Amino acid sequence: MLQAINTKLLIAILAALASISAIIVHQQHEIQDARAQAAKATALLEQQKAQAEAQKQEYEAFRKRVEAERRKNSAAPTNEGKTWRTYIP
């Protein structure tokens, strides 16, 4: 009878250890998945940041070209502000 109790106790202890080890393995797997997702998110954010920076630089270059073209092709006379003061009808 004592041997049966010892066997049942041993089986209960082994079952508890097995469930604890299963929980630990599951947690490790979840941690690895979370790390992988965090790495993907970080890479995606860095890529978006690089794209935004490149787009900003392209916009600045385009704005400077447009401004230069506007100044180059400006047909406004330099003394246009003075003409309305000296005009006598």
Query: Looking at the domain assignment, is residue 38 inside a domain?
Result: yes
Q: Which structural domain, as residue segments, surrounds residue 32?
A: 2-69
CA distance 36 to 25: 17
Query: Looking at the domain assignment, is residue 79 inside a domain?
Result: no
Q: What angle do CA 31, 36, 37 make, to 5 degrees?
A: 100
pTM for this prediction? 0.55
Query: Looking at the domain assignment, is residue 31 inside a domain?
Result: yes
Query: Looking at the domain assignment, is residue 50 inside a domain?
Result: yes
Q: Using one digit for the tens of pLDDT, what is the confidence trace for 17-69?
A: 999 999 999 999 999 999 999 999 999 999 999 999 999 999 999 999 999 88
CA distance 24 to 16: 12
